Amino acid sequence: DGGITQSPKYLFRKEGQNVTLSCEQNLNHDAMYWYRQDPGQGLRLIYYSQIVNDFQKGDIAEGYSVSREKKESFPLTVTSAQKNPTAFYLCASRDRGPGNTIYFGEGSWLTVV
């Protein structure tokens, strides 16, 4: 089955540590996205990538980093510089068909302890 796989589902991090969230897709989509979701704030764009080896900052990129070395993979690193990292993180990819639909993974919960 085609889809987007995020791992881990739940992650606990100590303050001062970096942590990397994995996102893999087998949909052959060029564009991929990372969103952060907090209660009452909807979805906020962290980073996006239109193509391999290229990515752009979204609205809240500070304290985060990404890479796009392969079409299938778009990992997100939450660095110690991110002051409030506890949130639900969603990875997505976009197809080229009519309407350019965006599809989502199941999300990863990050908690700083």
Partner 1 sequence: AQSVTQPDIHITVSEGASLELRCNYSYGATPYLFWYVQSPGQGLQLLLKYFSGDTLVQGIKGFEAEFKRSQSSFNLRKPSVHWSDAAEYFCAGLNAGNNRKLIWGLGTSLAVNP
Nearest 5 degrees, angle CA 7-CA 71-CA 19? Answer: 35
Contact range with partner 1 by CB under 8 A, out of 11-19, 61-69, 72-80, 97-105: 97-105
Q: Which of these segments, 17-25, 61-69, 70-78, 87-95, binds partner 1 (CB under 8 A)?
A: 87-95
**Residue 66 β-bridge partners:** 76
Is residue 13 classed as helix, strand or coil in its secondary structure? strand
**87: phi then psi, degrees, rounded to nearest 5:** -175, 175
Contact letters for partner 1, residues 58-77 (x by CB under 8 A): x-------------------
Establish if 99 lies at the interface with partner 1 (CB under 8 A): yes
Q: Tell me how crowded residue 63 is: count the other CB atoms within 10 A of its CB.
A: 15
Please choose, from the candidates 75, 61, 60, the residue with its C-alpha nearest in 3D space to the C-alpha of residue 24: 75
Stretch that binds partner 1, among 11-19, 20-28, 70-78, 89-97 (CB under 8 A): 89-97
User: Running DSSP on this structure, what letter comes out for residue 99?
Assistant: T
| Shortest spacing between CB 50 and partner 1, in angstroms | 8
Return residues touching partner 1 (CB under 8 A). Answer: 4, 6, 31, 40-43, 45, 48, 50, 56, 58, 88, 90, 92, 94, 98-107, 109
